[in-house]
Amino acid sequence: MAPVSHNRGRRSGRTAFAAAGTVVVLGLTGCSTLSGLLPGGGDEEEPSPEPTESVAAAPLLEEALADLADYPALTATGQVAQTVGADVQDTSLTVADSGATDGTIRANGNEGEIIDVDGRTYVRATEDFWLDRGVFGPDSDDFEDNWVRASASQVGIEPGAVLAPPVLAEILGGLEVEEEDAVKENLDGTLTYRIDLAGERDQVWINAETDQIQRIAIEELVPEGAETGPQVRLDLAQADQPAVEELYAGLVTTVEEELASSRDARIEVAWQGEPNMSCGEGPNCTWSGTAYDASGADGGSVSVRMDVTFTNDELGEQQCSDSGTLEAGGTLELSCGADYNNSESADTADQERSVDGSAQLSTRGMTDEEQESVLAALGEQREATLSGGADDEESGEATDGESAEETEGSGN
């Protein structure tokens, strides 16, 4: 009655996600370099300096950052890399003050759509996109043109964590101004002031007419509480209200209609050792195994599902499933069973029956409970963004005779 199990590995050959067994039952049974992101790197034409005319850098930057922090949303277009020395990828993003994001990322000819909802990053791309990044999972075959939850290390950036306007303003505000004066420069035909920050090549360009930040080139954009961050070279602009409304409407539709079938690539799930299959009279069969983190992820958890199919040539198929949450670096015990409950005459009771079993591991990028939570969060974030968020609270109480509803509506 000992099971015979065979594991089938993915392309990497490192892990096994699907398993099979048989039990005989008696009786009733291009790459780019980061130099292109930096001033003076790559083939991009650099800003040409105008005749030197300087202004005090610190107050100019302070005013621009205060303005940035109040953006309901921004657009960011340019290049990002996970860290200094990593591959460069082109990106175009719209990021709300809540961190809600929609956009695209592209590297080595492979483009993916990227969204950020309530602190969760998802990408929809072709199989080549994931292969290019060396990302595998038990359900990699389902990654093609499907939303997949991913980590910043896999896609190069977690937009909401570093590019939400108030967050970005805070990060930039924490960088020391290196040169006392800002230098006037012609940036792509627009007159700007360049401010050199205290980093090897950290710079900010501020539009001389609007006093808004037009471009940033930062070697390491580190969010609060983190040790590292992406390198960026991005052109920034304030997004208008129609763009904000379109952003939230699109994200709500995606969460409602598409993320329930999403996958999760943040942890590479595989069988630890050989799963076990056993059958008794009935045939009543049980499959059990241990899933584990084969990637050594730094943190987080992933929802894992095991689907098992038992097959007998005469009795047909029976199926069962089990699911649970796998923590990074941990293991997850999974087990389920199915009973054919076959009734036979006495003359066939002692015949042997062969039952085959196979199991497939898969992941879920969003559970039903998480979907409800994210939709509720997006609704609150949209309302806050379009009404001005904290600005309304700071402006004081509503005047006598003016309802709270009217006050809120006036922000739209």
What is each CA distance from 131 to 12, 79, 243, 261, 294, in whole angstroms? 10, 21, 33, 21, 17
pLDDT of residue 270: 96
DSSP, res 299: S
* Contact by Cβ (8 Å): 290, 271: yes
Q: How far apart are CA 145 and CA 157, in angstroms?
A: 20
Report the DSSP beta bridge partners of residue 16. 9
pLDDT of residue 2: 31
Would you list the DSSP string of 213-252? EEEEEES--PPTT-S---EEEEEEEEPPHHHHHHHHHHHH
Residues 6+ apart with CB under 8 A from 369: none
* Contact by Cβ (8 Å): 399, 374: no
Backbone angles phi, psi at 385, to 5 degrees: -65, -45
* Contact by Cβ (8 Å): 337, 246: no
Residue stretches of the chain with pLDDT short of 50: 1-16, 24-33, 38-43, 51, 345-347, 390-412
pLDDT of residue 197: 96
* Contact by Cβ (8 Å): 236, 121: no
Question: What does the block give as tokens for 175?
Answer: 């960088």
pLDDT of residue 298: 85
Q: Directed axis angle between helix 165-173 and helix 57-69, to 10°?
A: 160
* Contact by Cβ (8 Å): 110, 95: no
Strands 147-149 and 231-238: unpaired
pLDDT of residue 12: 38
pLDDT of residue 246: 98
Strands (E) in 272-370, as ranges, are: 276-280, 284-293, 301-312, 316-327, 331-339, 352-364
Q: How far apart are CA 387 and CA 366, in angstroms?
A: 29
Q: How far apart are CA 19 and CA 276, in angstroms?
A: 10
pLDDT of residue 224: 86
